[in-house]
Structure 1
Amino acid sequence: MAAATLSPAEVLATLKRGVSLPADRRRPGVERVPGIPAYRVTTSASRPDRTLLFFHGGGFTGGSTADHLDLCARLADAARGEVVSVDYRLAPEHPFPAAVEDCLSAYRHLLTEGCDPARVVPVGISAGGTLVLSMLLSALDAGLPMPAAAVLLSPAVDMLFLGESVIFNRDSDWFGPERLAAMRNDYLAGHDPDDPLASPLYADLDGLPPLLVQAGSGEVLIDGITAFVSTAQLQGVSVTFDCAEGMFHCWQAFAAVLPEGAAAIERVGVFVRRQVPDEAAGQGP
């Protein structure tokens, strides 16, 4: 039985109370990926020639493939691809840059196994969105080929958290400055928060692939995200900015009960399929 539909206000109120929301009861195919701490998630819609390299959320200190399984399945359906979800090391036991190293290793692994980078799209939500950018910057520095595109869902792009929305959007989001500061302390463990690898807002972004940045106007992080979009565009990066009016942090993860979340994932799928068309579509008669 599908979960009941809720309004954005109902979902936000539930999250502020710290109560879990139900996920879809579907069971996608899940198998361990040999050689890296990751799982391949597939549905009946998945094509083997389109790979989403997924980095979960959880503030760099929590989260896993298991508790993002519904999101992974929905992404696989929307993009009509396979999802490789990485269970990277978590802070505070493994502070920055351990998670970045794990994400880069996963991308290297895909390439080593013969995956065409032009058929790969890294996707990350919240901390995972940050790690997509950190991984891409590390890959550029290592001389690795860029993937076809990348998708950032509510990423934390500025560990200084300087945007005014951190204060003014507290009522329209489900966490605030105190939680952000605790996350930063655990993840960076004293490392400089304006290091471009930790705060991609301050990075040289030239050479990045096309990006879809999806965020909600009600997020505490929206000012930093908007600044990142402008900075990336000024540096010549192709950026599609999908700002959903009134939505809070990571509303996409609650698609099982929130129609706006399901619609956002469908828009991600459209972007991915546009960047990585079905192989048959590019073949001659």
Structure 2
Amino acid sequence: MTTQTTTGTQDKLRDLYTEWSQLMADYPTMNMRLFRAVFDEWHQPTTEPENVTYREDVVGGVPGIWCLPEGADESQVLLYTHGGGFAVGSSFSHRKLAGHVAKALGAVSFVLDYRRAPEHPHPAQVEDGVAVFEALVDSGIDPKNITTIGDSAGGNLAIAIALSLKEQGKPLPGQVIAFSPWLNMENDGKTLETNLDTDALITPQLLEGMIAGVLGDKIDPTTPLANPLYGDYEGFPRIYINAGSVECLRDNAEQLHERATAAGVDSTLNIAEGQQHVFTFNAGNSDVADEEIARLADWYRQGR
């Protein structure tokens, strides 16, 4: 199912992306430490969710931050993998967004600080996600009550974690959520061209550098756990996918929906009209983002 939403009155996220793009153009030799510091500003368009507290923890050997909404069902866990091209972003940059989603869904969320590229290439990130999932199960959480969720590269990981568990014959999460997932490691998607003038952040050149960092020259870009567009979706959990209509990665979401649906998966896709990459970062500042999270909450409850 594909639905459309209308453009909101504010887009602080687009403004932030425009600033980042100018910074990257002005300082093309920016080192990784500064690059990561810039992307830790990702939380700025997001309001602080009310009645949500945070706690640092280590789960399955992986550090991260718990988002704990007041009154949430702690048996329902969102395993959140942050975006950032596998190289930047953090639990800090994403905690507010994860808090908004957890509050709306009535669950708790653990935002992973998985190992990042280029220091730790693929499949380190997938392995960390699987380790957290298994630790949650070992702690008594029903696998069906765990949702893998992420945005951009983290949306890739939310899918890849479930694919890895499936390959190993292990219990799967109850559902998967992917915000603007970045899946195509071959870097040849059609909307990379058609939406290049409307996306305030993503370019083929930016993605090329991220791919080089996580895959290097040894990993085939069609490897399913790196590029879930090549994954086997038979028996995969129900999945919710979204993207902005003007972003360069729009077709990644559409192709994933097509392939999952063809495999018999209960897949829901929403393309939000006029919206940028991971538009839910505008939570609390945009009706579009807030309505999308409410729509996601309805979808989540229908599957319980």
- Fold shared per TM-score above 0.5: yes
1:240-279 deviations in whole A, cap 9, x for unaligned?
A: 1111112111111122322212222222222222223xxx
The letter of the residue matching 2:237 is P
Structure 1 residues 40 and 213: CA distance shift in structure 2, 3 A? same
- The answer for unaligned runs of 5 or more in structure 1 is 1-5, 277-285
Q: 1:30 aligns with which of 48, 52, 55?
A: 55
TM-score of the aligned structures, taking structure 2 as reference length: 0.84
1:212-247 alpha-carbon deviations (Å, 9 max, x no partner): 011111110112221221111111111011111121
Deviation at 1:138, TM superposition (A): 0.6
Specify the code of the residue in structure 2 equivalent to 1:228: L
What is the correspondence of 1:189-228 to structure 2 with a 5 Å cutoff?
A: 189-190=216-217, 191-228=219-256
Identity, % of aligned pairs? 31
The residue aligned with 2:156 is 130
What is the DSSP-based 3-state SS (H/G/I as helix, E as strand, rest coil) of the residue aligned with 1:17? helix
Q: Which residue of 1 aligns with 2:117?
A: 91
Contact 1:55 1:123 in 2 (8 A): yes
State the alpha-carbon separation in 2 of the partners of residues 161 and 222 from structure 1. 13
Paired letter, 1:54: Y
- Which TM-score applies when normalising by structure 1? 0.89
Flag structure 2 segments of 5+ consecutive residues without an equivalent: 1-7, 24-40
- 1:11 and 1:33 mapped to 2: Cα distance? 30
Q: Distance in 1 between matches of 2:45 and 2:159?
A: 30
Q: 1:51-85 CA distances to partner (integer Å, 9 max, x unpaired)?
A: 11111111100111111111111011110001011
Could you tell me how far apart the structure 1 residues matched to 2:197 and 2:293 are? 24
Deviation per CA, 1:161-189, whole angstroms, max 9, x where unpaired? Answer: 22211011012212211111111111111
Q: What SS class does the counterpart of residue 263 from structure 1 fall into?
A: helix
Query: In the TM superposition, what is the alpha-carbon distance from 1:13 to its structure 2 partner?
Result: 3.7
**What secondary structure is seen at the aligned counterpart in 2 of 1:158?**
coil
The match for 2:141 is 115
Q: 1:103 to 1:11 in 2, by over 3 A?
A: closer
Post-superposition CA distance 1:30-62 (Å, at most 9, x none): 241454323321011411121111111111001
Q: How many equivalent residue pairs?
A: 271
Match of 1:3 in 2: none
Aligned match of 1:12? 14
1:73 counterpart residue number: 99
Structure 1 CA distance for aligned equivalents of residues 70 and 104 of structure 2? 11
Structure 1 residue 91: deviation in Å? 0.2
Give, as a single letter, the amino acid of the residue that structure 1 aligns with 2:121: P
Give the alignment of 1:248-259 within 5 angstroms.
Answer: 248-259=276-287
Question: Alpha carbon RMSD of aligned pairs, Å?
Answer: 1.8
- Paired with 2:133 and 2:13, the residues of 1 have a C-alpha distance of 34
- 1:236 equivalent in structure 2: 264
Q: How does 1:120-159 map to 2 (within 5 A)?
A: 120-159=146-185
- Structure 2 residue 279 is matched with structure 1 residue 263: no
The structural deviation recorded for 1:200 is 0.7
Q: In the TM superposition, what is the alpha-carbon distance from 1:10 to its structure 2 partner?
A: 5.7
